[in-house]
Amino acid sequence: MKVYLYLLNTLADWEISYLTAELNSGRYLDNTKPSVELITIGNTTEPIKTMGGITITPDESIDNIRFKEDDLLILPGADTWMEEENKKIIDIASDVINKKVIIAAICGATVALANKGILDNRKHTSNDIEFFKMFCPEYTGENFYLNQPAVTDDNLITASGIAPLEFSYEVLKRTNLMKTETLEAWYQLYKTKDSKFFYALMESIGK
Identify the pLDDT of residue 131.
Answer: 85
Q: What pLDDT does residue 135 have? A: 86
* pLDDT at residue number 136: 87
Q: What is the mean pLDDT of residues 1-5?
A: 97
Q: Looking at residue 134, what is its pLDDT?
A: 85
pLDDT of residue 3: 98
| pLDDT value at residue 87 | 95
Reply yes or no on whether the pLDDT at 132 is more than 90: no
Please enumerate in sequence order all residues whose Cβ is within 8 A of that of 89, keeping only pairs 6 or more positions apart, or say none.
6, 41, 43, 62, 75
Residues 6+ apart with CB under 8 A from 52: 13
Q: Which residues pair with 152 in a beta bridge?
A: 157
pLDDT tens by residue, 8-30 = 999 999 999 999 999 999 999 99
Does the pLDDT of residue 79 top 80, yes or no?
yes
Residue 133 has pLDDT above 90, yes or no: no
| pLDDT bucket at 138, cuts 50 / 70 / 90 | confident
Termini Cα distance of the chain: 23
Mean pLDDT taken over the chain: 96
* Chain segment 86-104, per-residue pLDDT in tens: 999 999 999 999 999 999 9
Q: What is the mean pLDDT of residues 39-66?
A: 97
Contacts 24+ apart (CB under 8 A), 115-124: 115/90, 115/139, 116/90, 116/91, 118/90, 118/93, 118/94, 118/156, 119/144, 119/156, 119/158, 120/144, 122/153, 122/154, 122/156, 123/151, 123/153, 123/156, 124/151, 124/153, 124/156, 124/158
For residue 67, the model assigns a pLDDT of 97
Catalytic residues: 107
> pTM score, two decimals?
0.96
pLDDT at 207 over 80: no
Mean pLDDT of 135-156: 94
